Amino acid sequence: MKRLYVLFDAECGVCRQAKHWLAMQPAFVPLVFLPLQSADSVFPGIRHLHPEERLLTVSDTGDIWSGASAWIMVLWALQETREWAQRLSTPALRPFARIVCETVSQNRHLISKWFAQDGAQELGRKLARQEEIAERRRQEICLREAARAERSRAEEPLAPPPLPRGGGRW
- Domains of the chain, by residue range, sit at 4-99
- Going by C-alpha positions, the residue among 68, 72, 80 that lies closest to residue 28 is 80
pLDDT of res. 161: 62
Of 45-59, 60-74, 122-136, the one with minimum mean pLDDT is: 122-136
- Confidence at 80, pLDDT banded by 50, 70, 90: very high
Mean pLDDT, residues 127-155 taken together: 82
| Residue scoring higher pLDDT (127 or 83) | 83
- Containing 100, the helix (H) or strand (E) segment is helix 94-155
Rounded to whole angstroms, the Cα distance separating 62 from 64 reads 6
Of 2-16, 91-105, 149-163, the one with minimum mean pLDDT is: 149-163
pTM: 0.65
- Confidence at 122, pLDDT banded by 50, 70, 90: low
Rounded to whole angstroms, the Cα distance separating 101 from 95 reads 10
pLDDT of res. 116: 66
Rounded to whole angstroms, the Cα distance separating 59 from 87 reads 21
Which 8-state DSSP code applies to residue 161? P
